[in-house]
């Protein structure tokens, strides 16, 4: 998979917004965690130890959130399946 380079100046930031900006390329981010993940992926070669450990912590936290989301999505699908099955059985 190739990662497309994104022009750091090509972002529409609202005038009243105060985004976290990447100190290496200037790209704006809504949340600080997204900036940490961006630096870990795009600037891993120049990241210091603190930045690397922050990236690993954020990556694990993001993974946990993703697993919770997958579980909720699975439960929603199972619930939908049984609702439709019961509807089909009754109607
Ligand atoms: Zn950057």
Residue 39 to residue 87: CA distance in whole angstroms: 50
CA of 32 to the centre of ligand 1 (A): 13
CA of 28 to the centre of ligand 1 (A): 9
Tokens read off for 86: 């019961």
Q: Are 29 and 19 in contact (CB under 8 A)?
A: yes
Higher pLDDT pick, 64 / 9: 64
DSSP assignment letter at 42: H
Residue 40 to residue 59: CA distance in whole angstroms: 9
CA of 12 to the centre of ligand 1 (A): 16
Q: Which residues place a Cβ less than 5 A from the ion ligand 1? A: 22, 24-25
> How confident is the model over 16-44, as a mean pLDDT?
92
Residue 37 to residue 60: CA distance in whole angstroms: 11
> How confident is the model over 63-85, as a mean pLDDT?
98
Higher pLDDT pick, 9 / 75: 75
CA of 19 to the centre of ligand 1 (A): 13
Task: Decide if pLDDT at 8 tops 70.
Answer: no
Residue 64 to residue 67: CA distance in whole angstroms: 5
CA of 76 to the centre of ligand 1 (A): 37
């Amino acid at each position: 998979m190739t990662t497309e380079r994104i022009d750091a100046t090509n972002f529409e930031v609202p005038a009243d917004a105060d985004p976290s900006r990447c100190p290496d390329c200037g790209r704006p981010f809504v949340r600080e965690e997204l900036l940490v993940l961006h630096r870990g992926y795009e600037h891993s070669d120049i990241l210091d130890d603190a930045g690397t450990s922050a990236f690993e912590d954020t990556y694990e936290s993001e993974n946990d959130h993703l697993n919770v989301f997958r579980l909720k999505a699975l439960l929603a699908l199972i619930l939908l399946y049984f609702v439709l099955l019961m509807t089909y059985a009754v109607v």
